[in-house]
Amino acid sequence: MPTPGEAAADRKVFEITGKDRESFLQGLVTNDLGQLKAGIVYAAILSPQGKYLADFFLVPDGEEILLDVHESLAEGLLRRLAMYRLRAEVRIAPAPVQVSRGLGPAPGGALADPRHPALGWRLYAAEPGGAPAIDWDTIRVEHCIPETGIELIPDESYILEAGFERLHGVDFRKGCYVGQEVTARMKHKTELRKGLVTVAVEGTAPVGAEILSEGRPAGTLFTQARGKGIAFLRFDRAAGELRAGEARIRMP
C-alpha cells in the first residue's frame, strides 16, 4: 500500500510556463534540464563568483515546470529569475499545489527525491499529506545531505564543497550557466581542501558552533542526530582531537 506523505510546510511551489521555459532555466541553473524526462531535477543557482544562492527542485508537470524552493529563499530567487528573464517568453506564478514527502511505497504521481534513495519521494498535489513526522535530520546526517539555511548558506557556500556532485545537483557536461567557470575550475583544477562530512559527536554543541583543532579553527558543526553530525571541515586540520564547545568531534 502507498505510504501517506508528510506535508512540507516550509516549501513554496511556483509554475514556470512559456515556450522558452527550458532554455531559460538551462542557461542559469547547475543541472541539465534534459533530465526532466526522467523525473525531478535537483539544482542550484549561483552568483557570478560561483557561490551558492539557492537550491531547489524542478519538477516535470505537462507543459509546465514546477519549481519547489524553501520559503526563506523564494522571494530572492524570484527576483533573480526576473532579472535574468529579459525578453525570454517565460511566466512564473504560484502553483496551486503543495509538497508532501515520505518514505516507503509511493502514492500515485509521486516522484523519487533525486538526491539520495534514503530521502524517499516527493508529491505535488492540491492537498498535502498528513502522516506522522519523519526524523529527516537523522537521515540527512547519516548520508551527509545539507539543508537549506543550515549547511547551505547563501553567498557563502560552494556547491562542490557541499556535496552537490554526489547529490546529483550539478552536471559538468551541460554547458554554460551562471557561476559555471568557478565550479568547473574547482572540479578539474584543484583538490577540495574543505567540505561537508559526517562526523561522530560526543556531547552536544549549538548548530553553527566553531570546531577547533588544537586551538586552531578547523570548521563548523551543524545538524546533529544520534551521536553524529554534519560538519564543514578544513581537511588539513581534521586529524587529532577536534572540539566544538563541550562536544568532542572525530572522523568516523
Indicate the Cα dihedral angle 189, 190, 192, 193, nearest 10°. Answer: -170
> Model confidence over 106-135: pLDDT tens digits?
999 999 999 999 999 999 998 877 666 899
At 3, the pLDDT band (50, 70, 90 cuts) reads: low
| Average pLDDT value for the chain | 94
Residues 12 and 136 in one domain: yes
**pLDDT value, residue 240:** 77
Q: Cα separations (Å) of 21 from 26, 60, 65, 202?
A: 9, 12, 8, 48
Q: Phi and psi of 140, rounded to 5°? A: -65, -45
> Structurally, how many domains does the chain consist of?
2
Rounded to an integer, the average pLDDT of 145-154 is 97
Instruction: At 6, list the grid cell.
Output: 508528510
Residue 172 forms part of a structural domain:
no
Q: Per-residue pLDDT for 22 more than 80?
A: yes
Mind listing the pLDDT tens digit for each residue in 186-195?
Answer: 998 778 999 9
| 121 in the same domain as 34 | yes
CATH number at residue 73: 3.30.70.1400
In this predicted model, which residue has the larger pLDDT, 8 or 40? 40
Per-residue model confidence (pLDDT) at position 4 = 61
pLDDT given for residue 9 in this prediction: 86
What does the pLDDT read at residue 131?
62
- Examine the domain organization and report whether 130 and 213 are in the same domain: no
pLDDT at 132: 64
Cell numbers for 53: 544562492
* In a shared domain, residues 230 and 130: no
Express each pLDDT in 228-237 by its tens digit: 999 999 999 9
**What confidence tier does 48 reach under pLDDT thresholds 50, 70, 90?**
very high
Structure confidence at residue 191 (pLDDT):
84
Collapsing DSSP to helix, strand or coil, 210 comes out as: strand
pLDDT at position 252, please?
A: 75
114/49 same-domain check: yes
pTM above 0.85, yes or no: yes
Specify whether 131 is located in the same domain as 14. yes
Strands (E), the chain: 6-7, 11-17, 41-46, 52-61, 64-70, 91-94, 98-102, 111-112, 121-125, 194-202, 209-213, 216-225, 228-234, 242-244, 247-250
Q: What is the pLDDT of residues 54-103, one digit of tens each?
A: 999 999 999 999 999 999 999 999 999 999 998 899 999 999 999 999 99
Expressed as residue numbers, the domain containing 65 is 6-143
